[in-house]
């Protein structure tokens, strides 16, 4: 059973990962002219406790699209809530402003980031299954 789950999770990582990378590439090409404006809007609308780190993640990340999606990434959300003590209301407002910054590409952005979340979750399942298989 674990072997089957491992194979399915590997398949999901590869197939969903291709769509994720395609979405990132598409948004990067389409929004290259507005890149600095979008980065400025997102970092200015970030919660005060995370403003500086938000700007840093977008400027230092290979893909500024992924850096701008920190509040949408499933494993980052608890970090924002617990370690930075940002309320869920502030994160929700920030998410709305991020969507507004992307304008007509916001749906592509959201789908791409959720595909990335699914690929990351499948990768974690794959690693967990491999660890269980090695110990069995």
Q: What is the pLDDT of residues 23-70, one digit of tens each?
A: 999 999 999 999 999 999 999 999 999 999 999 999 987 789 999 999
Element (H, E) at 96: helix 88-102
Banded pLDDT at 134 (limits 50, 70, 90): confident
Q: Find where tokens 């916001």 sit.
A: 106
- How many structural domains does the chain have? 1
Banded pLDDT at 103 (limits 50, 70, 90): very high
CA distance 103 to 126: 35
Three-class DSSP category at 31: coil
Domain with 19 in it: 2-135
């Amino acid at each position: 059973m674990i072997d089957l789950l491992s194979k399915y999770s590997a398949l999901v990582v590869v197939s969903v990962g291709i769509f994720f990378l395609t979405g990132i590439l598409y948004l990067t090409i389409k929004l290259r002219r507005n890149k600095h404006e979008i980065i400025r809007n997102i970092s200015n609308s970030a919660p005060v406790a995370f403003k500086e780190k938000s700007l840093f993640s977008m400027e230092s990340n290979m893909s500024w699209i992924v850096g701008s999606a920190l509040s949408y990434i499933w494993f980052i959300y608890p970090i924002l809530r617990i370690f930075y003590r940002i309320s869920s209301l502030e994160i929700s407002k920030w998410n709305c402003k991020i969507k507004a910054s992307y304008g007509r590409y916001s749906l592509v952005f959201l789908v791409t980031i959720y595909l990335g979340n699914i690929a990351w979750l499948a990768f974690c399942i794959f690693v967990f299954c491999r660890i269980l298989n090695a110990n069995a």
